[in-house]
Amino acid sequence: MSVPRYYIAALLGSLALGGCKTVGPNYKAPAMPAPPAFSDNGHNGAWAAAKPADAADRGAWWAVYQSAELNGLETRCTNANQSIAAALHAYEQAHDLVRENHASLYPTVALGGAASRNRVSATTPLKSAGSEQSYWEFLIPLSISWEPDFWGSVRRQIESSSANAQASAAELASTRLSLQGLLAVTYLQLRGLDLQAQLLRNTIDAYTQTLQLTQARLKGGLGTESDMAQAEAQLEASRAQLIDLGVERAQYEHAIAVLVGEPATNFHIAAQPLAGDPPSVPTGVPSELLQRRPDIAAAERRVAAANALIGVAQAAYYPNITLGATGGVESTAISQLFNSGSAMWSGGPVASEVIYDAGRRRAQVDYAIAQREQATSLYREQVLSAFRDVEDQLAALRVLEQEAVVQQRAVDAARRSTDLSLLRYRRGLTTYLDVLTNQTIQLTDERAAAALVARRIVASAQLQLALGGNWNTTQLPSN
């Protein structure tokens, strides 16, 4: 009994797969030395290094600010922000590309059907005596084509697309973290404006009392019209400052509306002054930063993707081998289409090798290597930028804390000076200009102190962003 040739071809293909090789360099993550500790860790106990539990979900990082409203806004941002939705769809595209490349490992099978009416010329040798000049032809073909991945080109392509999909997932996490951070910072800045508004309202109350004092002294013959005019001008200027804050606050509200995916029209956040010191944020050690920043993970995965493409380019030096087979049934009578005599088939391997291409493949390999080196440089630059981001915020927190202490002393001194000048003015021992000068200095110092409260808390949020929030590389999808 003879063995059909397509069985022999399939057997040879299966045996050949056992000896498949994967060309190209295996991936090794780029080395990037990290300092043993952040330079500002030792300057402030609140920011001392603490090993984070990177294997566990640390929850919503913004919850440390103990604001139920911020928690709700962050949830809405995660679910409704259009930039996050776009990044999610980009990841889905990358995932689908992995599936597409993976399908190249398997044969392609096609089934068709055809029916045609044909006429043979009576004046050609094909026309035999007594045969019909016109006839039907029915055909149901089945074709199988398979290019075994002998040299690993498809596997390297899958490796590259998988790494790109992981990079896309990290970029999705980076987009989400960036927008959540922008929302937190914007919200905290808005609350900082509420603190300044509260300060201005208290100042307006104090200036109103001062204006009443100048009016009383004028009626008693102890003051002047000039004193009353100066007090009134100072009061109205403070009211104007309070109104001016409304412009900036409205812009923050509108920015938050966009971040949570809502129209700015009729979007409003009730006033609530910011208060307190920034919360403690464990920084960990610099080497852990490489696992906690999604932008670093994305850059590293891009290196892996580019490295795999070198193997794809090198596989072009080897022969292309395709195993193919076609079969089916064919007949001039549809009633005999499925008879055993109507079967037809053919099959066999096809091999081709490029002998000369004027250096095209060499150029493609060099191009792939240059792409990997570019991705490596970008990865290292991203790591250096991440270290800088953390150091910037640690330095900001340290310096702003020192500034806040000094500024509070200035506020305390300005308040004492204002109280003394008011007391002397009531007793007729000084002019109103002395009171006006001291009140102006006090308001300036108090607004600076209020701004420092917001700047310190915002810096703590930016430090958490620099540290990667609650993200780590264990959240990347597997290959």
Over residues 143-166, the pLDDT tens digits come to: 999 999 999 999 999 999 999 999
pTM tops 0.85: no
Angstrom distance (rounded) from CA 432 to CA 399: 37
For residue 302, tell me if it sits in a domain.
Answer: yes
> How far from the centroid of its chain's Cα atoms is residue 179's Cα?
8
Tens of pLDDT, residues 317-338? 999 999 999 988 888 888 888 8
Whether pLDDT at 453 is above 80: yes
Angstrom distance (rounded) from CA 288 to CA 386: 11
Q: What pLDDT is stored for residue 44 in this prediction?
A: 44
Tens of pLDDT, residues 60-111? 899 999 999 999 999 999 999 999 999 999 999 999 999 999 999 999 999 9
Tokens standing for residue 366: 């060099």
Angstrom distance (rounded) from CA 202 to CA 208: 10
Q: What pLDDT is stored for residue 128 in this prediction?
A: 60
pLDDT band at 127 (very low <50, low <70, confident <90, very high): low
For residue 344, tell me if it sits in a domain.
Answer: no
Coarse DSSP helix, strand, coil percentages of the chain, rounded to the nearest 5 percent:
65, 10, 25
Q: Please compute the mean of the pLDDT values over residues 191-216 and round it to a whole number.
A: 95
Tens of pLDDT, residues 390-415? 999 999 999 999 999 999 999 999 99
Residue 281 and residue 464 in contact, taking contact as beta carbons nearer than 8 Å: yes
Q: What percent of the chain has pLDDT over 90?
A: 68
Whether pLDDT at 177 is above 80: yes
For residue 243, tell me if it sits in a domain.
Answer: yes
Angstrom distance (rounded) from CA 135 to CA 291: 72
Q: What pLDDT is stored for residue 335 in this prediction?
A: 80
Q: What pLDDT is stored for residue 281 in this prediction?
A: 84
Tell me 279's DSSP state.
Answer: P
Rounded alpha-carbon distances, angstroms, from residue 265 to 17, 73, 115:
64, 17, 65
pLDDT band at 7 (very low <50, low <70, confident <90, very high): very low
For residue 409, tell me if it sits in a domain.
Answer: yes
Residue 411 and residue 446 in contact, taking contact as beta carbons nearer than 8 Å: yes
Angstrom distance (rounded) from CA 331 to CA 337: 5
Number of domains in the chain: 1
Tell me 406's DSSP state.
Answer: H
For residue 127, tell me if it sits in a domain.
Answer: no
Whether pLDDT at 37 is above 90: no
Sequence-distant (6+) residues with CB within 8 A of 294 are 170, 171, 173, 174, 177, 468, 471
For residue 461, tell me if it sits in a domain.
Answer: yes
For residue 70, tell me if it sits in a domain.
Answer: yes
The residue among 161, 149, 173 whose CA lies nearest residue 96 is: 161
**In CATH, what number is assigned to the domain containing residue 413?**
1.20.1600.10
Which domain covers residue 155, as residue numbers? Answer: 22-107+150-319+359-475
Whether pLDDT at 244 is above 70: yes
Q: What percent of the chain has pLDDT over 70?
A: 89
CA torsion through residues 96, 364, 371, 303, sign: positive
Our separate counts of H helices and E strands in the chain read 9, 5
Of the chain, the end-to-end C-alpha distance in Å amounts to 47
Name the residue with higher pLDDT: 56 or 177.
177
Q: What pLDDT is stored for residue 126 in this prediction?
A: 60
Question: What does the angle CA 260 – CA 386 – CA 257 come to, to the nearest 5 degrees?
Answer: 10
For residue 192, tell me if it sits in a domain.
Answer: yes
Question: What does the angle CA 49 – CA 54 – CA 55 come to, to the nearest 5 degrees?
Answer: 150
Whether pLDDT at 132 is above 80: no
Whether pLDDT at 19 is above 60: no
Whether pLDDT at 266 is above 70: yes
pLDDT band at 55 (very low <50, low <70, confident <90, very high): very low
Q: Please compute the mean of the pLDDT values over residues 110-123 and round it to a whole number.
A: 86
